[in-house]
Chains A and B, each alone.
Chain A
């Protein structure tokens, strides 16, 4: 039908053919297009989470300072602000690069090239997940942060400590407004330190450290957890597609390893989300 019409009126036909589903106006396959729209909807989900985070953070007089909360590094290092999360970012960025390489090898129809670079991407994803596991273990196990308790508080006044915690804070140490602290836990008992306010309307009063914004723990674990869940599913799908690629399935499909391209889109999106999780939780 289309070829008949072409002879009569070229312009008229191409329009008609498009309306009949013959053309592909976006020059992308159904699967690839739907991956884009899935990612768009997923972007809205993540935005909902991050906007909730921003709204709650803006509604609090103080918020735990990220340079204070995220300063541990494997090997017993406790004074390396943001170093570990920067490492995690680099791991994810590197795995995005290896994913690009896998897609490029796919366009070249180089079967073993695709498998090799996908294997590197899987290793990157697993390394990222391991880092996240360590980060969570430290926060929950050593610093006792849970989805309901946030021991990371921030001073709103200037003052002097009346007791020490036996580690970082000594009796008589002065602090200023905006300085964060971690309330220690001994057994089942929380040990907030007493201090004397030295300036402002409450000068001279004795107070004790209070817990930080309660929502912080839930927001942190749910948002980074939801991202980690995306990385995990990404790794699983990467593994399935890598095995398929190795088996020669995509050679037979003769479409330039389009499946690798689709999982590539997903994987880059996970990296993209991390850019904004990194921005909201660690940089700001």
Chain B
């Protein structure tokens, strides 16, 4: 551990204040991005998404490293817990790409049906 009682108390207070601040920022940014806070102002989904994910990872870092004391564990323990979670980076990307593909397939199928109907009704050139 290596930290005095009062030093660790200060760190805990500081960490909780940062976490609360980030949360308020995230909520306001989400509302701003969706065009709810200011009329006519809104951001594309990937901009808000990117900002939100970055700040959520910062929150996760603070909770794991300060609250759960990962910062003060030996490096081998840290690696044995955190390295396996890297698999999730692959899983998230792979599955979201797959999900987007389902959407495209469904849209194509829908278009094919529309064209078929138009052909049978004789309205398709």
Residues of A within 8 A of B (CB): 25-28, 33, 36-37, 39-40, 43-44, 47, 51-52, 54-61, 65-67, 81-82, 86, 89-90, 93-94, 96-97, 99-101, 104, 107-108, 264-265, 268-269, 271-272, 275-276, 278-279, 282-284
Contact = CB atoms under 8 A, between A and B. Distances in A.
A55 B60 contact: no
For the complex of A and B, 9 pairs with smallest distance between CB atoms:
A58-B99, A59-B102, A55-B99, A26-B77, A97-B16, A59-B99, A55-B95, A100-B12, A279-B56
Contacts of A96: 16, 63, 67
Chain B interface main SS type: helix
Contacts of B56: 275-276, 278-279, 283
A26 B27 contact: no
B5 A40 contact: no
Interface size class of B (residues with CB under 8 A): 35 or more
Contacts of A283: 26-27, 30, 48, 52, 56
A54 B12 contact: no
Interface of B: 1, 5, 8-9, 12-13, 16, 19-20, 23-24, 26-27, 30-31, 34, 36, 45, 48-49, 52-53, 56, 59-60, 63-64, 67-68, 73-74, 76-77, 80-81, 84-85, 88, 91-92, 95-96, 98-103, 106-107
